[in-house]
Chains A and B, each alone.
Chain A
Amino acid sequence: MNKPLDNTLLGRPDPLAGLRDAHVRWQHDYADQIGTEREAVNRSGVAIKPLYTALDWDARTHAGLSAMPGQPPYTRGIYATMHRGRTWTQRQLIGLGTPQDYNARLLEVMAQGADAVSLIPCNSVFRGVDMDESHIELLGTCGTVVNTAEHMDRALQGVDLARTSCAMNDPSPFTLLAFMLAAARKRGTDWRAITGTSNQSDYLSHYVANHMFFRIALPGARRILGDHIAFCQQQVPKWNPMSVVGQHMQQAGATPAQAVAFTIATAIQNAQDCIERGMAPDDFLPRFTFFFDISISFFEEIAKFRAARRVWAAVARERLGARDPRSWRFKFHAQTSGIDLTRQQPLNNIARVTVQAIAGILGGLQSLHTDAYDEALSCPSEQGARIAVATQNILREEAHLTDVIDPLGGSYYVESLTDRMQAEIERVLAQVDDAGGMYRAVEAGLVQRMIGESARQFQRRIDSGEQTVVGVNAYRTEEDASARPINERPDRAAMQAHIDAFKAYKAGRSQGEVLRALDALARAAGDPKDNVFGRVIEAAQAGCTHGEIVATLRRELGFGHVQAMV
């Protein structure tokens, strides 16, 4: 038996001697009963053993154990009270049909306990195309058709913008937020009271992994983001203008560790851009939030979030020079991953979402979206949305998952895995640093190649059957068609009425005001001293449509083309 040299040399008894002996006995028993096994590896490439003990902890783990929630490096949680003080925000993504349809569903969901608003616009809005230039068949099927400030006002009817947190899923140039601020101004709501997040402000993640949202060429998007952060910091100080998104990358195939590394690298890039504009880190870092996918790799996700908090605390403090502890806190919203859901045997997805949600909660998220079970089939149904919200309520109030802060802290496995995930995250972060930072790395295609390789590896594991997907490559059944929900489509007549009203609205506007506002917007794009986002809001208030605003900026700053590589 090996005894540690240091202690016996010094004549002290080895405190772990008993453990070591017992562990060796266990290893023999295990090997006898199981024989040889192939080493398991999690999605991030970290080797996973059948058993963890205190022997798996090194000096770093021991040091980490003294971290308390609310104290740097925040491994156990960014707040002292975590979910006991304030439960996670139940924010469900909703989007469909006309603004009236959206409003009806929103009020329903809030009555069931959701306490925050999120709006998913129609795909036409994502592409920057107004409804009178779209095929009507494609309007409102997966999101709400909002093209003007007036539409936004209607969609948020009955919501007190000073009291309810709103998340706008709208990429650069953040027209939907502009519409919301215009509506707030009209209602007399003070912008300084408004809370929420620009959920899709991470243009780099769009370029890399979600082309749907990439509207304006990279340099232009970079400029607009800087303007957006600066404007909000001044005039909408409780708004989170920066949501750094790891979800897109993970859904595109990045491993969980890569997703965190790329996300933190992006945050560093955006922070450096702000510092270059003359802002101090503590001016804007407290309003940086993160947005992650939660896969079904249960323990890996929990460790990933714990490690992310540690890495970010060090980055904010040491690399970015932030002094305010609020800048060091890794706040994140998480969504259960749609990639793990299947079309086959869709009700199984309820179980999957539950497991993913638990991982996110135990990982210490601040805000959670649970997918509906039919998310893989099409846009979620009412029933699916209801079950998704109920799942969260059950986890919190029946399973009491919030009663103990970081309950897996101290677990031999989870602490050891947190260390390994941190090492992997830092390794990938160093690669991005070597490439000159995230913007350069993305421009050069390095990030895309790394994600592509991870995606191919994962697909090989599924194709070979090494990774089971129940109902797809194992445990298959004859599909019962009655279990498939009926797809909701927006009412065609109502949508046509919406389009007709929109056309009438455009005809009835003050054309002079509209043109002046668009002209000012265009000039702002060419003037680095002007604030493009401020001009977007003015354009919204002047009655400009979303399509007009986006078209103007695409013309001035470049259309967001992406490389489609096979």
Chain B
Amino acid sequence: MNTETLIPKVLITKVGFDGHDRGSRVVAAALRDAGMEVIYTPPWQEIANVVKLATEEDVDVIGISSLATDHLIVPKLMTALRAGGLGDVAVVVGGIVPDEDERMLLDAGVARVFHPGTALAEIAGFVREAAHGVRARRAHA
């Protein structure tokens, strides 16, 4: 595969009602500085629109920032992604997620939950790996 094409494409967005986007902006900038292409949206995205966006931009990874309790509707997002033919896209959640909810998210298909204080390099590394995995699987499909 042409190595030039392996620039991971990542969607950073927020669903639900919370509007605090400082954290997601910091992560978006960090992923850009790590050489990735980031589609960054304002908060309050409807789940259906996240699926539309992810489809149109053909992203490899979706990063959901959740600081209040908005992560509780991420399972609905996972269902919508699968229904929309994007079941192979990797989804990560970052923010304030209580331990009991983390299990629930992983069971719903979320690839990883990042808690506050995680080094940005670690997030970038995981996202890059995940993106490579998504592309590799698609190439063989």
Contact = CB atoms under 8 A, between A and B. Distances in A.
Interface string A377-397: 111000000000000000000
10 contacts: A123-B18, A138-B16, A142-B68, A211-B19, A212-B19, A379-B68, A484-B99, A564-B25, A564-B40, A564-B43
B76 interface: yes
Contact of A210 (B19, B42, B116): B19
Report which residue of B73, B99, B117 has the largest number of chain A beta carbons within 10 angstroms of its beta carbon: B117
B52 interface: no
A127 B21 contact: no
Contacts of A562: 42
A561 B17 CA distance: 14
A487 interface: yes
Interface string A472-490: 1000000001001001010
A-B pairs with the 3 shortest C-beta distances?
A: A212-B19, A123-B17, A137-B72
Nearest to B31: A566
A343 B117 contact: yes
Contacts of A122: 17
A157 interface: no
A481 B117 contact: no
A391 to B, nearest CB: 23
Report which residue of A211, A455, A562, A564 has the largest number of chain B beta carbons within 10 angstroms of its beta carbon: A564
A564 B45 CA distance: 13
Contacts of A489: 69
B26 to A, nearest CB: 8
B69 A343 contact: no
Contact of B17 (A126, A472, A565): A126
B41 interface: yes
Contact of B69 (A141, A455, A481, A564): A141
Contacts of A213: 19
B21 A564 contact: yes
B28 interface: yes
B117 A564 contact: no
B20 interface: yes
B37 interface: no
A295 interface: no
A566 B117 contact: no
A566 B32 contact: yes
Given A122-B17, A142-B69, 17 more contacts: A138-B69, A138-B72, A210-B19, A211-B43, A212-B19, A343-B96, A343-B117, A378-B68, A378-B69, A378-B98, A487-B98, A489-B69, A561-B42, A564-B25, A564-B42, A566-B25, A566-B40
Nearest to B42: A564
Contacts of B126: none
Nearest to B67: A378
Contacts of A123: 16-18, 68
B133 to A, nearest CB: 26
A135 interface: yes
Interface in A375-426: 377-379
A481 B98 CA distance: 11
Contacts of A487: 98
Contact of A564 (B32, B41, B68, B70): B41
Given A142-B68, A212-B18, A212-B20, A472 B32 contact: no
Interface in A538-566: 561-562, 564-566
A466 B1 CA distance: 45
Given A126-B17, A138-B73, A378-B98, A566 B68 contact: no
Interface string B81-123: 0000000000000001011000000000000000111000000
Nearest to A472: B117
A487 B98 CA distance: 8
B57 to A, nearest CB: 16
Nearest to A214: B19
Interface of B: 16-22, 25, 28-29, 32, 38, 40-44, 68-70, 72-73, 76, 96, 98-99, 115-117
A129 interface: yes
A135 B20 contact: no
A379 B18 CA distance: 13
B73 A137 contact: yes
Report which residue of A134, A210, A565, A566 has the largest number of chain B beta carbons within 10 angstroms of its beta carbon: A566
B17 A343 contact: no
A252 B25 CA distance: 12
Interface in A111-166: 122-124, 126-127, 129, 134-135, 137-138, 141-142
A431 interface: no
Given A127-B44, A211-B43, A566 B19 contact: no
A344 interface: yes
A472 B116 CA distance: 10
A52 B25 CA distance: 41
Contacts of B19: 126-127, 210-213
Interface in A457-501: 472, 481, 484, 487, 489
A252 B22 contact: yes
Contacts of A472: 117
Contacts of B32: 566
B17 A129 contact: yes
Nearest to A339: B22
Contacts of B25: 564-566
A138 B43 CA distance: 15
Contact of A378 (B16, B28, B41, B96): B96
Contacts of A561: 42
Contacts of A564: 21, 25, 40-43
A126 B70 CA distance: 14
A131 to B, nearest CB: 12
Nearest to A481: B99
A60 to B, nearest CB: 38
A560 to B, nearest CB: 11
Contacts of B40: 564, 566
B105 to A, nearest CB: 12
A344 B96 CA distance: 12
A129 B19 CA distance: 14
